[in-house]
Amino acid sequence: MVFRKFKPQKQWGKMNTRIFKNILAARNKRKLPQFVIPSAIREAGFKIYDPNQPNFFGTEARELPVIPHPAYRTPQLHEHPLYKSVKCSLFDGSVAFTDGIDQACSLSKAVKRIGFPEIVLDLASKIPLPECFEDRLSDCIMHGERYDPTLEKLPRLFDPIIFWANYFPNRVHGTPVLTRG
C-alpha cells in the first residue's frame, strides 16, 4: 500500500489513518471468486466438507484413542509413596477445646475414661524416663495455654528507638496476651 511519507518528528497521523481506512474498505468490498473443486480431486474420491456449514466440526468427530503410556495414566491412590492404609483423623481448628484429648474423643466419637488399665500402667512403668523428667513436664504444663481458634489482629510492633523503620509490615494474628490462660 502506498502512504504519504511523513517526517521523523511526526508520528502516524490523521491523514494516513484516513488513507489506510479507505484502502482497507475498498479491499473488503472486492468479492473473492468462489472455490471450485478441481476435477482431479473429485475423481480421486476424497471427502470434501464445506467449512461454512454449521455442523462442520461434528462431521468427522471421533473419540480419542486410549494411550497406554504411563505418562498419560492417572495413578491410583494406593500407588502414592506416602499412602497409608490406616485412615487419619484430623483435628478441627474451628472448635475450641481445653485439651487435645477432648478434641480427639469428640472426633473419634469415643468415651473418655479416667485412669489407665493395669496392663498399660505395667508397660508404662517399664519405660525408662530421662533425668529431670518432672521438671520438663511441669515446664510444658506451665507453658501450655488454652487453644483459641479465633485469631484477632494483634497490635503492631513498634520500635521507639528506630521509629521510622517498619520491621513488621504485615499484621500478626493470634491470641492476645491478656486472654491467654
Please report, for the chain, the start and end positions of each structural domain, with discontinuous segments joined by +: 100-143
Name the phi and psi angles at 70, rounded to 5: -65, -20
pLDDT recorded at residue 89? 67
Sign of the dihedral defined by the CA atoms of residues 110, 114, 115, 118, in that order:
negative
53 to each of 33, 63, 104, how far by Cα in Å? 19, 22, 65
Q: Are 142 and 136 in contact (CB under 8 A)?
A: no
How far, rounded to the nearest angstrom, does the alpha carbon of residue 165 sit from its chain's CA centroid? 34
pLDDT recorded at residue 93? 61
pLDDT recorded at residue 29? 92
Element (H, E) at 14: helix 14-29
pLDDT recorded at residue 94? 64
Write down the pTM of the prediction.
0.21
76 to each of 73, 79, 81, how far by Cα in Å? 9, 5, 11
Task: Map grid coordinates 462431521 to a residue.
Answer: 59
Question: Which letter does DSSP use for residue 152 in this model?
Answer: E
pLDDT recorded at residue 74? 84
Task: Map grid coordinates 494516513 to a residue.
Answer: 16
Name the stretches of the chain with pLDDT < 50: 147
Cell of 86: 490406616
pLDDT recorded at residue 26? 93
Q: Are 107 and 97 in contact (CB under 8 A)?
A: no
